[in-house]
Amino acid sequence: MKKSHFPEGFLWGGATAANQLEGAYNEGGKGLSIFDMVAFVPKEERGHEIEMDVRSEAELEALLAGNGSDNFPKRRGIDFYHRYKEDIALFAEMGFKTFRMSISWPRIFPNGDETVPNEEGLAFYDRVFDELQKHGIEPLVTLSHYELPLHLVQKYNGWTDRRLVEYFVHYAETVFNRYKDKVKYWLTFNEINVSTISPYIGSGILVDRVENREQAVYQALHHQFVASARAVKACHEIIPGALIGCMLARMETYAETCSPDDVLAALEEDQKNLFFTDVQVRGYYPSYMNRYFEENDIKIDMLPGDEEILLQHPVDFLSFSYYMTMVSSGSPDKMKEKGNFFSGIPNPYLEASDWGWQIDPKGLRITLKKMYDRYQVPLFIVENGLGAYDKVEEDGSIQDDYRIDYMSAHIEQMGEAIKDGVEVMGYTSWGCIDLISAGTSEMSKRYGFIYVDQDDYGNGTLERKKKKSFDWYKNVIATNGAEL
Ligand code: BG6
């Protein structure tokens, strides 16, 4: 057998989120969450990929009244709520060491601002954690993965309201106390930077209710930073030995050319992305961001003690999702051209997925090396993978060689960074079982090693089938990354 570069005990596994997986949106006492309100929009009618934001109260009321759509894919997920035993058995068959999942906040507190939790919701996750334990799989649990209780949007306009800090901390303490003997790895907010592009999904903000969108988003983020630091503190107090991390949608930005203007533009774009981990890992607001706030009339209201909380309770490790890299130019006109997914211009050296996400395995190595240079804390890749259309062949097989190629190239580059001494705790590929897409609510954008028979409209048997990549990943784990 080839030699592995991955450390002993490396946490191989897969990643999911409650809102894209569980279904059963109105069972077990669960309240509505923000993503339960996002309707499916067919590709031909989609303006931009990010169609998931609800912007006004009127829009929300119409959705609640059932006007316009009856197709809300995240409400049905893939029915993990009822099929978790079968799914976990398949993860165990692949040899997963860890399974990343989230707790749906409105399953525990249906409205978000109650004091007494919903026992049925707590009991569900007890069953899931017990099942994982039975198979020797460590849960890695995200406290908030786009699952804000809808009531907190309606009553408080989401995280713009300081009171959410207390509600979140109460929720976090409740689950830490309940699961302290079952869960050792935690994450606070999934892709905390998403609010800047999607205020509703990231922070529960209806933008029509605020005067200045950017001001509202950064104020909401301040509340989330404080809530996250308080959760770190509570986690350490309640679960000795537990590790808790932050989570960033990492977007490494390259300069279009070696012109100093392009290099500076790329650096500043990168800083906007690293701002979040600067606060959560270093424990204070970086000076470049204070300048940005000043020049853009953004005033962050802080309470006495906030800065101490941030400084005293940084995260134990830094986790991130990695799907693509960006390119920036110093010329504003070029930046307006439509290019890669979020912003930026296309990279002529890279190919893209069917959804325009540019594929860059070496970018993962660059990301790992730069992040480790900057922070010197353990890193955890908690999302990476290829969204693709899969075809079930006549013999029932799914030959997803493109996914194997994508993942082996990324894992190889991760191994190279590890050889350089970068501390990586683990790798959980996104959507290890096909689930509902966050960005487009499609079922047909598939990431899994396990195929789920369901289409964009909820038709299908929900039967689970192993794809070709299933055995491939099983062998990757069995050889601790030596055979790709
Ligand atoms: C990340 C999210 O943005 O990327 C996941 O944390 C999401 O929830 C994943 O599913 C892939 O995005 P999409 O839009 O292809 O589902």
Q: What is the pLDDT of residues 253-288, one digit of tens each?
A: 999 999 999 999 999 999 999 999 999 999 999 999
Report the alpha-carbon distance of residue 68 to residue 407 in Å, rounded.
39
pLDDT digits (tens, 9 = 90+) for 23-63: 999 999 999 999 999 999 888 887 654 557 899 999 999 99
| Residue nearest atom 15 in ligand 1 by C-alpha distance | 437
The backbone torsions φ and ψ at residue 232, rounded to the nearest 5 degrees and listed phi first, read -60, -45
Going from the Cα of 323 to the center of ligand 1, the distance in angstroms, rounded, reads 9
Over residues 425-446, the mean pLDDT reads 97
pLDDT of residue 401: 98
pLDDT in the model for residue 230: 98
Q: Which position has the higher pLDDT, 376 or 43?
A: 376
* Whether the predicted pLDDT of 234 surpasses 60: yes
- How much is the pLDDT for 339? 47
For the cut 60, the answer to whether the pLDDT of residue 291 exceeds it is yes
**Which has the higher per-residue pLDDT, 19 or 67?**
19
Is 307 a known active-site residue? no
Mutate to test the pocket of ligand 1, among 147, 383, 389, 442 (most ligand atoms within 8 A of CB): 383
The pLDDT tens digits for 175-209 are 999 999 999 999 999 999 999 999 999 999 999 99
Looking at residue 196, its pLDDT comes to 93
- How much of the chain exceeds pLDDT 90, in percent? 91
- Residue 387: which of 336, 326, 321, 331 has the closest Cα? 321
The mean predicted confidence, pLDDT, of the chain is 95
User: Can you give the pLDDT at residue 167?
Assistant: 99
pLDDT digits (tens, 9 = 90+) for 98-128: 999 999 999 999 999 999 999 999 999 999 9
Distance 260 CA to ligand 1 centre (A): 33
Q: Which atom of ligand 1 is nearest to the CA of 431?
A: 10
Name which residue leads in pLDDT, 267 or 339: 267
Task: Return the pLDDT at 336.
Answer: 62
Q: Residue 337: what pLDDT?
A: 58
pLDDT band per the 50, 70, 90 thresholds, residue 326 = very high
Whether residue 315 is predicted with pLDDT greater than 90 in this model: the reply is yes
Given 308, 383, 412, 423, the catalytic residue: 383
CA 190 to ligand 1: nearest atom: 6
Higher pLDDT, 335 or 408: 408
Please report the pLDDT score of residue 340 as a whole number.
Answer: 47
Average pLDDT over residues 421-432: 98
Q: How far is the CA of 438 from the centre of ligand 1 (A)?
A: 5
Q: How confident is the model at residue 344 (pLDDT cuts 50, 70, 90)?
A: confident
Tell me the pLDDT tens digit for each residue of 154-176: 999 999 999 999 999 999 999 99
Where are the domains positioned within the chain?
Answer: 11-478
Q: Residue 136: what pLDDT?
A: 98
Q: What is the pLDDT of residue 46?
A: 79
* Mean pLDDT on 395-410: 98
Pocket residues: Cβ below 6 A from ligand 1? 17, 20, 190-191, 249, 321, 383, 387, 430, 437-440, 445
Least confident of 157-161, 332-336, 425-429: 332-336
With a cut of 60, say whether residue 338 has pLDDT above it: no
78, 196, 246, 430, best to mutate for ligand 1 pocket (most atoms within 8 Å of CB): 430
CA distance 447 to 91: 14
- The answer to whether residue 300 scores a pLDDT higher than 70 is yes
- 11-478 has which CATH code? 3.20.20.80
pLDDT of residue 43: 84
Label residue 418 by pLDDT band (50, 70, 90): very high
Written as six digits, the tokens of 430 are 């996104």
Residue whose CA is closest, atom 8 of ligand 1?
438
